[in-house]
Chains A and B, each alone.
Chain A
Amino acid sequence: MATVTDVQVRTGRRGELALLGLAVAVAVLARGLVDYHADFLELDELAIYAAGWTVVALVIHLAIRRWAPFADPVLVPAVLALNGIGLAMIRRMDFAYADRGRDTNFGEIQTLWTLLGIGLALLVILLLRDYRLLRRFTYTAGLLGLVGLLLPLVPGLGSQINGARIWISVFGKSLQPGEFAKIAFVVFFAGYLVSNRDTLALAGPKILGMRFPRPRDMGPLALVWAAAMLVQIYERDLGTSLLLFGIFVAMLYVATERLSWVIVGLGMFAVGAVLAGTLFSHVGSRYTAWLHALDADVYSSGASEQLVRGLFGMASGGLFGTGLGEGRPDLVPYAESDFIVASLGEELGLTGLMAILTLYVIIVQRAMRTAIGVRHGFGKLLAAGLGFAIALQVFIVVGGVTRVIPLTGLTTPFLAYGGSSMLANWLIVGLLLRISDQARRPEVMTP
């Protein structure tokens, strides 16, 4: 029998405060550099910006102390640093576009989205006192996810932007419902898998020395596969398709501990992708643009122009970058959103890009840590699923820009311009805060 002792638990809140200070410093410094190089630096305005960030950081800190005192202390500072870098880069693009006679205020809009996103995350830890509540909404979440995924296909509502039909127009505003569908699916998968993992883990036939699942248990996998294929073909978006399917396979693996699911899943996706590429020319041309990006005819047809221009930008940045505001990221289409990674690679160099990727690694690893620490299967799946969702999305976007995989229309979490993405990813942060708070809360304190 364990004896009940009064254990002093390290919440890490003070460390978090210090890290938040660092994140605020990064955000303010980046903005100062951007303004300086645009000959726009006004110290009192920068001071207001710094004060604003400080207030936001303090509010976050106090809210977490109040509502999620045991939450992971590294997560929010890492996210905030990325967000600050993203805001500076987007503002920098505003200056670049202004030089070319294009009047944009992406920076201000994105600042608003950031504040809304942070508010949403804090609302989650305020209102959702126990993440296990979400399990009750497993199938509701599944339905919501499906609706969100298919909304862009509704005539009159969905719209195609930059080749992918993943947008809907509401009140003249464009939204990417897929960003929210992603979260709903993670909730659904977690709830579904935690209930059915025993069945799914049952061994089936043995092929090449490895136990494969029973064919009759393949239903859910096949369903998600079909949904992913539909998205790829009809929404012309390999990114969302790959993201959705990847998250499911990863969570299936975590739930069943069977590698065979991963192999079957990846095999199915590969076959589907090849089939889609062969049968549908618009899917196939995306593969051609990826594999033969630098070929003269592919480039001049415009198919790989954006990708290659991004490569040119990153190459010109080299090891240390041109410096914020010193490069020409405006030569790449969508430099503030889809290609913000190429813009950052150009101006901050390989070193800057490495630092940004490392911040993502930290965020994802904190989510995985939370998954390991949390006691309930649903929580483990939820945390691992949300963490992997961020990781896979970054991989798909940055991999697309760096030619590891074909280019897709996903957004870079916390960096890219776009409201849906900002809100959805801060929502994930809120959920992870809640789960990690419960994971790290000492058992002795729960009655």
Chain B
Amino acid sequence: MNEPVRRLSVIVLAMFLTLMIAASYIQVIAAGDLNADARNVRTLYREYGTFRGPIVVDGESVVWSKPVDDPFNYQRTYADGPLYAAATGYYSIVFGRTAIEQTENDLLSGTADSLFWTRLGNLVSGETQRGASVELTLDAEVQRAAAEALGDDAGAVVALDPSTGEVLAMVTSPTYDPALLAGHNTAEVDQNYQDLLAQEDGPLVNRAIAGDTYPPGSTFKLIVSAAALEAGYDADSELYAPDELDLPLTTTTIENYGGESCSANERQTLEDSLAMSCNTSFANLGMQLGWGVVERKAEEFGWGEQLSIPLAVTPSRLPDDPDEAQTAMASIGQYDDRATPLQMAMVAAGIANDGVLMRPYLVDNVRDADLRVIEEYEPEEMSQPMTRSDANELTDMMVAVVQEGTGTAAQISGIDVAGKTGTAETGTGDRPHTWFVGFAPADNPVVAVAVLVENGGSTEGEVTGGRVAAPIARAVIEAAIAAQGGS
């Protein structure tokens, strides 16, 4: 019986060899796939189980990881969650990450290449991995003022520092509390998420940069004005401003807002047309300049560009090869013109900064756990859509808008505010979207702002950019100037 026992030993060896091969397959060959499997919560725990860096505004953490006694070790915690949600995004074990939490994830989690030396140091000193802190360009006061001024109305506010491109405020409304999605009870988080999705006004949508793009309405006249100045017009150039403008090859006409007359003699200067927001004159001016000229100017201000601030910004759009009638409509910000509030703030910032458009950005600097700066963002010129003198001339025209035109509600005593209102037809029969785009102080701008209130918000009666959006812009500008003076 010895021979079969020997053979049995060989079979046993083969059995164990099979087990060893299977274990090797799982732990080495298939390990990558298994570790990357979405159902593998271990990866999640490993990622969520490490200290994640805070997100900082004005030196204060607005999002941080608080040690807790559960399998995840840390709970993402928020100060003023709804106020900063549009910028910070959420960090959920169920639904992943958005906004800064997503774009700066490798820095916040501590896995970025730029943190290599920090990690090496931790390895030597035996410290656990700690993520870097990300400081935003947002100004807490401006952000808060913008959110309070906008209130519960659906819309967005973007404020930029025109000389650097820093985003000082980015508010979208309605907003949500990221804490609702950051919990560790997956059933609860799931329910909260479904509730947010079910809300018709879309609180998870960032209207400032990535919601639906909006028809810019009369604020687009700034682009047409810039193109006209470049083409040789000046503030005093007389434009054809009839009460009704026939659109070529159609039976339709363009009227002014409320059917008003721009001028008794059908002639009006460029400056007055902008101040009064005359439709017929700008529609005609657009046709005179030709769509190509207007389109190029818009593109110089950022239309069509895929920005990442580092949040992805929906590109603003223009109509493709419009005919004469469509050009007329597009020249007053209707037809297929679409813009994000950020894009309109960039228009104001470009004009404010002597015609030089700075690339907008939201992340100011990144520091490792020992507070050493490992990344610092430098202002960067994006384009130069206007000459300094054209920009100054347009600034004066915009000051007139606020002083004696449609934007008087944005006036601040002792400070020249430059601005432009917009009241954009939505084409759906709803009330128009109301805009205000501007900057201040006119001679040395510290803030450029764009305000959008969808369908005029909760304002009763007739809604216009001057009536609904301009007061909000004023509040933001005041806060920015106050913050500037304070610092």
Once bound together, how far apart are the Cα atoms of A339 and B2, in whole Å?
A: 36
Closest partner residue, chain B, to A327 (CB atom): B42
Once bound together, how far apart are the Cα atoms of A200 and B40, in whole Å?
A: 52
Residue of B1, B34, B41 near A254 (CB, 8 A) is B1
Query: Is B197 interfacial (CB 8 A cutoff)?
Result: no
Closest partner residue, chain A, to B30 (CB atom): A315
Query: Is A316 interfacial (CB 8 A cutoff)?
Result: yes
Task: Render A366-406 as a binary contact track against B, CB cut-off 8 A, 1 for contact.
Answer: 00100110000100110010011001101100110011100
Once bound together, how far apart are the Cα atoms of A342 and B63, in whole Å?
A: 37
Q: Which of B10-18, B132-140, B200-208, B389-397 contacts A (4 or more CB under 8 A)?
A: B10-18
When A315-B26, A316-B42, A403-B22 are in contact, do A361 and B1 touch as well, CB less than 8 Å?
A: no
Once bound together, how far apart are the Cα atoms of A331 and B49, in whole Å?
A: 14
Cβ B8 vs Cβ A402 within 8 A: no
Residues of B within 8 A of A311 (CB): 26, 30, 34
Once bound together, how far apart are the Cα atoms of A394 and B30, in whole Å?
A: 23
Q: Which of A10-18, A83-91, A156-164, A348-356 contacts B (4 or more CB under 8 A)?
A: A348-356
Residue of A364, A365, A380 near B1 (CB, 8 A) is A380
Residue of A353, A361, A365 near B27 (CB, 8 A) is A353
Task: Render B249-267 as a binary contact track against A, CB cut-off 8 A, 1 for contact.
Answer: 0000000000000000000
Once bound together, how far apart are the Cα atoms of A318 and B46, in whole Å?
A: 15
Once bound together, how far apart are the Cα atoms of A101 and B40, in whole Å?
A: 22
Cβ A402 vs Cβ B40 within 8 A: no
Once bound together, how far apart are the Cα atoms of A398 and B26, in whole Å?
A: 12
Cβ B8 vs Cβ A354 within 8 A: no
When A313-B42, A331-B41 are in contact, do A384 and B5 touch as well, CB less than 8 Å?
A: yes
Residues of A within 8 A of B19 (CB): 357, 394-395, 398-399, 402, 404
Interface of B (DSSP majority class)? helix
Query: Is B462 interfacial (CB 8 A cutoff)?
Result: no
Once bound together, how far apart are the Cα atoms of A400 and B410, in whole Å?
A: 74
Once bound together, how far apart are the Cα atoms of A277 and B41, in whole Å?
A: 32
Q: How far is the CB of A215 from chain B (nearest CB, A)?
A: 23
Q: Which positions 42-56 of chain B face chain A at CB distance < 8 Å?
A: 42-43, 45-46
Cβ A380 vs Cβ B5 within 8 A: yes
Cβ B39 vs Cβ A299 within 8 A: yes
Cβ B12 vs Cβ A372 within 8 A: no
Interface of A (DSSP majority class)? helix
Residues of A within 8 A of B11 (CB): 250
Cβ B71 vs Cβ A399 within 8 A: no
Query: Is A345 interfacial (CB 8 A cutoff)?
Result: yes
Q: Which positions 289-344 of chain A face chain B at CB distance < 8 Å?
A: 294, 299, 308, 311-319, 328, 331
Cβ A99 vs Cβ B71 within 8 A: yes
Cβ B37 vs Cβ A371 within 8 A: no
When A255-B1, A404-B19 are in contact, do A388 and B8 touch as well, CB less than 8 Å?
A: yes
Cβ A257 vs Cβ B1 within 8 A: yes
Q: Which of A315, A349, A381, A394 has the most chain B CB atoms inside 10 A of its CB?
A: A315
Once bound together, how far apart are the Cα atoms of A299 and B37, in whole Å?
A: 12
Cβ B71 vs Cβ A100 within 8 A: yes
Residues of B within 8 A of A255 (CB): 1
Cβ A250 vs Cβ B16 within 8 A: no
When A315-B31, A318-B31, A402-B19 are in contact, do A350 and B24 touch as well, CB less than 8 Å?
A: yes
Once bound together, how far apart are the Cα atoms of A381 and B20, in whole Å?
A: 27
Once bound together, how far apart are the Cα atoms of A398 and B27, in whole Å?
A: 14
Cβ B31 vs Cβ A365 within 8 A: no
Query: Is A414 interfacial (CB 8 A cutoff)?
Result: no
Cβ B4 vs Cβ A257 within 8 A: yes
Residue of B15, B20, B22, B30 near A391 (CB, 8 A) is B15
Residue of B3, B9, B18 near A368 (CB, 8 A) is B9
Query: Is B288 interfacial (CB 8 A cutoff)?
Result: no
Residues of B within 8 A of A349 (CB): 27
Once bound together, how far apart are the Cα atoms of A100 and B71, in whole Å?
A: 7
Task: Render B56-91 as a binary contact track against A, CB cut-off 8 A, 1 for contact.
Answer: 000000000000000100000000000000000000
> Can you give 20 A-B contacts (C-beta < 8 A)?
A100-B71, A254-B1, A255-B1, A313-B42, A314-B23, A316-B43, A331-B41, A331-B42, A361-B12, A361-B13, A365-B9, A368-B6, A368-B9, A387-B12, A388-B8, A394-B19, A398-B19, A399-B18, A402-B19, A403-B26
The residues of B with any CB-CB pair to A shorter than 8 Å are 1-9, 11-13, 15-16, 18-20, 22-28, 30-31, 34-35, 37, 39-43, 45-46, 71
Closest 10 CB pairs of A and B: A315-B34, A402-B22, A315-B31, A350-B27, A368-B9, A312-B40, A391-B12, A254-B4, A395-B15, A371-B5
